[in-house]
């Protein structure tokens, strides 16, 4: 498909460059915050500001992408994010560190408009029978980008410094915008679409309908509760940043402590990405769509998560920590992917969106 479909090739290329840039950038932001404030709470606050606005802006992004040309939405989101990332270069001291937070919120909001537009145009640019393959490729690309982006981001930051990472991320957004600009495809949803109405932007009724539906179905409630495994994903960002700075910092001849910390953190996140990639990849052929096996795999996934994080406290070397993180996210990604599959198998199609927790950039 990549070889034959020019539009999909460009969309996929835009995804690769912007997601790689995103992982570089995320590492750089957390490292910057910890370095300037010395508080893990500042990293946690950054993460909160990156995930909560996406939940609140959900209805608005759907309406905007249904009323406007998605190509324009994506280009505007990319260019906006390029400027925002460049503004991060102004954060140089404790006095200017506050600037990170509004910039993060703005960047997150634009990403929340970009992602639904990207996934929504896939049916417009590929044949109907190729949609599943295209979605699968996009999903696998995300996991690989996490692994590659987190690891190489650390190496680049260690070699070139944090500012270089911000500039590279800004360039990646520009490249993404240019790739999307060069795409040519029809957008029939805009024909006869109603003009944007402010009330539509804050319409949470589909979400409320989804909550009512889940409350009335006991089996769905228990499957949704499985998503409690995400409690481990938030702490991982904070803890990897802190351990990277302290216990897991790479010490190498000529490598400064800040860059060593960056590299240590990125290796831990790379291990996490590898675990997230391997978990579903190796276990999905065994489980398939057979519910008892999916349920059994979720149980073992939880145990692997508990074992991986439980053992992390005993790790004396960076390679040991990476191994335990890999094990933890091998299990966590199984819980994530298989519980989503269980949800999809147990719910009516019409409630698929309302019942599925938003994932965006933070699965596994």
Partner 1 sequence: MLTIAAGAYIAGRFVDWGFVARYVASAAGLLMLIPAIWWGLKVRGTS
- Contact set with partner 1 (CB under 8 A): 39-45, 47-48, 51-52, 54-55, 222, 225-239, 242-243, 246-247, 292, 295-296, 298-299, 302-303, 305-315, 321, 328, 357-358, 360, 362
User: What's the min distance (Å) between Cβ of 47 and partner 1?
Assistant: 4
Nearer to partner 1, 113 or 302 (CB): 302
Give Cβ neighbours of residue 235 (< 8 Å, ≥ 6 apart): none
Taking the complex as a whole, the smallest distance from the CB of residue 135 to partner 1 amounts, in Å, to: 21
C-beta of 265: minimal distance to partner 1 in Å?
A: 11
Q: Provide the minimum distance between the beta carbon of 176 and partner 1 in the complex, in angstroms, as a whole number.
A: 24
For residue 266, the tally of other CB atoms under 10 A from its CB is 28
Q: Between 36 and 171, whose beta carbon lies closer to partner 1?
A: 36
- Complex with partner 1: residue 45 or 171, whichever CB lies closer: 45
Neighbouring residues of 340: CB distance < 8 A, sequence distance ≥ 6: 356
What span, in angstroms and rounded, lies between the C-alpha atoms of 230 and 335? 9
DSSP codes of every residue in 307-351: HHHHHHTT--SHHHHHHHHHHHHHHHHHHHHHHHHHHHHHS-GGG
Nearer to partner 1, 69 or 230 (CB): 230
Cβ closest to partner 1, residue 118 vs residue 329: 329
Nearest approach in angstroms of CB 178 to partner 1 is 31
Least distance CB 168 / partner 1 (angstroms): 25
Distances (CA, A) of 177 to 118, 170, 186: 12, 11, 18
**Residue 192 backbone zone (phi > 0: left; psi -120 to 50: alpha; other: beta):** left
CA distances to 35, 145, 241, 326 from 318, rounded to whole Å, are 20, 22, 13, 12
| 150 contacts: CB under 8 Å, gap ≥ 6 | 23, 27, 266, 269, 270, 272, 273
The minimum distance between CB 299 and partner 1, in angstroms, equals: 5
Element (H, E) at 99: none
Least distance from partner 1 to the Cβ atom of residue 82, Å = 25
Compare residues 122 and 226 and give the one whose CB is closer to partner 1: 226
What does the alpha-carbon distance between residue 364 and residue 358 come to, in Å, rounded to a whole number?
13
Comparison of 92 and 219: residue with beta carbon closer to partner 1: 219
CB 354 within 8 A of CB 209: yes
The distance in angstroms from the start CA to the end CA of the chain is 27
Residue closer to partner 1 by CB (options 172, 339) is 339
């Amino acid at each position: 498909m990549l070889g034959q479909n020019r539009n999909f090739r460009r969309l996929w290329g835009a995804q690769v460059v912007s997601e790689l840039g995103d992982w570089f950038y995320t590492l750089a932001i957390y490292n910057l915050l910890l370095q300037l404030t010395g508080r893990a709470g500042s990293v946690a606050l950054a993460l909160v500001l990156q995930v909560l606005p996406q939940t609140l802006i959900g209805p608005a992004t759907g309406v905007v992408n249904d009323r406007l040309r998605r190509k324009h939405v994506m280009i505007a989101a990319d260019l906006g994010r390029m400027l925002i990332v460049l503004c991060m270069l102004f954060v140089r001291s404790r006095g200017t560190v506050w600037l990170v937070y509004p910039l993060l919120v703005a960047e997150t909001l634009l990403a929340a408009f970009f992602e639904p537009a990207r996934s929504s145009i896939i049916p417009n640019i590929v044949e109907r029978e190729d949609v599943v393959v295209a979605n699968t490729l996009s999903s696998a690309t995300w996991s690989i980008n996490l692994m590659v982006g987190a690891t190489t981001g650390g190496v680049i930051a260690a070699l070139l410094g944090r500012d270089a990472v911000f500039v590279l991320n800004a360039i990646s957004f520009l490249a993404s915008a240019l790739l999307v600009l060069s795409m040519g495809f029809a957008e029939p949803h805009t024909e006869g679409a109603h003009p944007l109405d402010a009330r539509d932007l804050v319409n949470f009724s589909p979400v409320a309908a989804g909550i009512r539906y889940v409350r009335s179905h006991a089996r769905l409630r228990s499957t949704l509760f499985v998503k409690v495994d995400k409690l481990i994903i938030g702490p991982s960002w904070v803890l990897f940043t802190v351990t990277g700075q302290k216990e897991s910092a790479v010490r190498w001849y000529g490598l400064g402590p800040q860059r060593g910390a960056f590299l240590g953190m990125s290796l831990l996140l790379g291990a996490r990405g590898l675990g997230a990639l391997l978990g579903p990849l190796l276990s999905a052929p065994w489980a398939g769509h057979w519910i008892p096996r999916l349920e059994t795999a979720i149980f073992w996934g939880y145990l692997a998560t508990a074992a991986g994080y439980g053992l992390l406290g005993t790790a004396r070397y960076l390679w040991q920590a990476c191994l335990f993180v890999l094990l933890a996210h091998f299990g966590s990604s199984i819980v994530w992917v298989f519980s989503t599959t269980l949800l999809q198998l147990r719910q009516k199609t019409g409630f698929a969106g309302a019942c599925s927790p938003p994932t965006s950039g933070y699965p596994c």
